[in-house]
Homo-oligomer: A and B are copies of this chain.
Amino acid sequence: MSAPIKFPTPQKQGSPAQQLMELARQDMAAVDSLITDRMQSPVGIIPDLAAHLVSAGGKRLRPLLTVASAALCDYDGSDHHKLAAAVEFIHSATLLHDDVVDESDLRRGKRPANKIWGNASSILVGDFLFAGAFNLMVETGSMEALSVLSKASSVIAEGEVKQLAALRQITITEADYMDVIRAKTAALFAAATEVAPIIANRSTAERAALRDYGMKIGLAFQLVDDTLDYGGMESALGKSIGDDFREGKVTLPVIRAYQQAGPEEKEFWHRVVVEHHQIETDLESAISYLRAAGTLESTLDQARKYASDARQALSIFPKSDWRETMRDLAGYVVDRIH
């Protein structure tokens, strides 16, 4: 297991995400204000539910990547704020619909919106945010940015359906799984970064580089999430773990553990995933199996590889505070602690 990357202590500078947020403070304030503005509606449930989700101080990682990429491209307009808000709206719409799809009572230890306002509201407010994302994009006048985010939206929906079809399929291949997360998670990260060079009229090479950076960050992010759902590499069990396990979602650590498992362990995974019959101690057993197999570690190594690719992708840009902080962010995505 690789040693955790050491970051400056929070007292001095904060995490790379905080540093980037600091660099982008003015931009992100503009994005926040757009988000708040566009959630308004005379139909009260829309701002209520959207606020629960969008303004509840989420990480705003995706819109942060859009404004950071725009800064890296020396973009001097204001359309990146609209695109960043659009990216967050697409993400939020997806989360709202996922909550209904997943049927969980808790997600990361919190009650999902549909358990408070009902499935119907979550579906319809998700649609409202999704349409709102396109309204924002239209206002930028950039058909190319719109095309990138529109295609990403198709790919995300397709990835979500594919994930649904893969539910409780313990024998899903690693390649198929990577296709799923490339679509359902990484595609939006890639679009979030790619739209910046587009509106900044930068070269095809820079556009490809930023798309690659976003894609690799997204893959790393999802794989880390997969390990965190089983407590990551921490020995103490967090309170908000096991969502994927309880929903029967087969993720990379499980796919790899199952492939090398003996008959008894195979039977365990078959029961808890395929038959979806789980008892209270099963999550702990699953974690033990994954640790013994070393697949949480190998998944995290895979994430580190993607983070390193993401750092590398930015080499095309000259050294700058923005570039270095975006590079640091790639490492942070892997070594973040929730």
Instruction: List residues of chain A with CB under 8 Å of any chain B CB.
Output: 41, 43-46, 93-94, 97, 100-101, 103, 119-121, 123-125, 127-128, 130-132, 134-135, 137-138, 141, 143, 146-147, 150-151, 153-154, 156-158, 160-162, 164-165
Bound-state CA distance A132–B130 (Å) is 13
Q: How far is the CB of A243 from chain B (nearest CB, A)?
A: 16
Do residues B43 and A124 form an inter-chain contact, with CB atoms below 8 A?
Answer: no
Whether B153 lies near A134 (C-beta < 8 A) is yes
Which applies to chain A's interface (DSSP): helix, strand, loop or mixed?
Answer: helix
Contact A124–B154 (Cβ < 8 Å): no
Which B residues are in CB contact (< 8 Å) with A101? 119-120, 123-124
Complex contacts, A123 vs chain B, CB 8 Å: 97, 100-101, 123
Q: Which residues of B contact A143 (CB under 8 A)?
A: 138, 141, 143, 146
12 A–B contacts, CB within 8 A, in A order: A41-B161, A45-B161, A100-B123, A121-B161, A127-B130, A127-B160, A128-B154, A128-B158, A131-B153, A135-B147, A135-B151, A138-B143
Q: How many copies does the complex hold?
A: 2
Cβ-neighbour of A161 out of B125, B138, B150, B154 (below 8 A): B125
Query: Most chain-B Cβ atoms within 10 A of its Cβ — which of A101, A121, A124, A151?
Result: A124
Which one, B93, B128, B150, contacts A134 given CB within 8 A?
A: B150
**Residue pair A97, B124 in contact (C-beta under 8 Å):** yes
| Other contacts beyond A121-B161, A128-B161: 13, CB < 8 A | A45-B165, A46-B161, A121-B164, A124-B157, A124-B161, A125-B157, A128-B158, A131-B153, A134-B134, A135-B147, A135-B154, A138-B150, A146-B146
